[in-house]
């Protein structure tokens, strides 16, 4: 049993961009020669989130549309007053989706569904350089 | 320290059916003789989700009602156009609730609240045979 | 590799109070002399949830406002009829946000963002004594 940690870096456009990071996570698992255990993913930051989905253009637009409908960018947010920010909606979207995800690994591969990808969603209102922490616990 | 993986199978009706899977997970823990560690649960698939709740008929109906209100089945979804599918709402519900859940185990038992059950929600629009991956890391 | 479990206790006011529990979790990690691994947090109970956010008064009000808008306290809930309870909205908010959170630890510290705090949100309708289970797996 061992712990292995990798940090993946991404250049994002923000504005609820939905990045498929499955391949990058799979490569990190291979390079660490992990065969079985859990992969725990985490976004260090309060305007990004992780989940899974079928990452095809239609479903991506649906998710962006639903987040805009439920937490509209143009609505009045206290956060935008107190901090001089414009990303109050980004914080809400990130907190609701959540910053952590845990995926089982067997025989060196994640047990994802056939049409299921791991996505990192950057809700912030500007392009950013982002990190995702990938931590394996297992054999 | 060791890793143990089990796959639980379920026949579901879909349409946001909410299955209480607590007993099945508890049995898997017992059969693996795990005493302390974490149980990491995962749905391989993009139209299912895991969370916890008080699994009584009223709260189940409330949850189904809220998901229908926030992500209506009848709304226009891009996913339904591009793929010829009818489950655009299922994908949104699953991504928002999330596919993974982690529960602590002590003295061979999950540290759940008295009225807290682990539920698997199948959002798809048809009956399916589903798997949940249960992975233990601990002693 | 080892497993360490701590239980943190909190007195809450309920009504979607948002408590910043970051310092308490960090102290638990220090006192257990954990240097690297995952911290898995869990709320035993069906009306509490864990996530991360920038814990400043404006963003806290925004989150409380969004939860009230999406799952209004005054709406009719089946749970309130069947159990004689008044916390149907609390259950929905808790299930959607989720009871578990996993955070990576390196060099004895959680890999949180600069303005990212771990929050426990108590959605119940009355003050309560609450527990959060903090479980480390690592070295």
Nearest to C102 among B1, B102, B106 (CB): B102
Comparing C84 with B6, the larger pLDDT belongs to B6
Residue partners of A82: CB distance under 8 A and separation at least 6 = C56, C57, C58
Chain B residue with minimal CA distance to C76?
B62
List pLDDT tens digits, range B39-85: 999 999 999 999 999 999 999 999 999 999 999 998 999 999 876 78
Nearest to A111 among B83, B96, B133 (CB): B133
Closest CA of chain A from B114, distance in Å: 25
Element (H, E) at A5: strand A2-12
Element (H, E) at B7: strand B2-12
Distance CA(C85)–CA(B68), nearest Å, equals 23
From chain C, the residues in CB contact with B97 under 8 A are 95-96, 98
Are the Cβ atoms of A62 and B133 closer than 8 angstroms? no
For chain A, say whether C54 makes contact (Cβ under 8 Å).
yes
Distance CA(B71)–CA(B130), nearest Å, equals 22
Distance CA(C3)–CA(C40), nearest Å, equals 11
Distance CA(B134)–CA(B37), nearest Å, equals 13
Strand partners, C120: C19, C50
A83 has pLDDT over 70? no
Are the Cβ atoms of B58 and C79 closer than 8 angstroms? yes
Section C102-119 average pLDDT? 97
Are the Cβ atoms of C98 and B61 closer than 8 angstroms? no
Residue A21's CB is within 10 A of a number of other CB atoms, namely 19
Q: Is the ipTM of this complex over 0.90?
A: yes
Per the CB < 8 A criterion, the answer to whether C11 and C129 are in contact is yes
Which of A4, A22, A36, A52 to mutate to probe the B interface, most B CBs <10 Å?
A: A52
List pLDDT tens digits, range C33-59: 999 999 999 999 999 999 999 999 999
Tell me the domains of chain A and their CATH numbers: 2-138 (2.60.120.460)
SS3 content of chain C, % helix, strand, coil (to 5): 30, 40, 35
Are the Cβ atoms of A53 and B133 closer than 8 angstroms? no
């Amino acid at each position: 049993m061992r712990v292995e940690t990798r940090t993946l870096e991404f250049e994002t456009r923000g504005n609820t961009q939905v990045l498929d990071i499955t391949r990058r996570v799979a490569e990190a698992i291979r390079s660490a020669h992990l065969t079985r255990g859990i992969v725990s993913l985490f976004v260090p930051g309060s305007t990004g989130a992780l989940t899974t989905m079928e990452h095809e253009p239609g479903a991506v637009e649906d998710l962006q549309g639903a987040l805009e409908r439920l937490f509209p960018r143009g609505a009045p947010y206290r956060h935008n007053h107190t901090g001089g920010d414009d990303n109050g909606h980004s914080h809400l979207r990130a907190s609701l989706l959540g910053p952590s995800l845990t995926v089982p690994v067997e025989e060196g591969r994640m047990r994802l569904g056939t049409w299921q990808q791991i996505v990192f969603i950057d809700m912030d209102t500007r392009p950013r350089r982002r990190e995702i922490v990938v931590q394996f616990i297992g054999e």
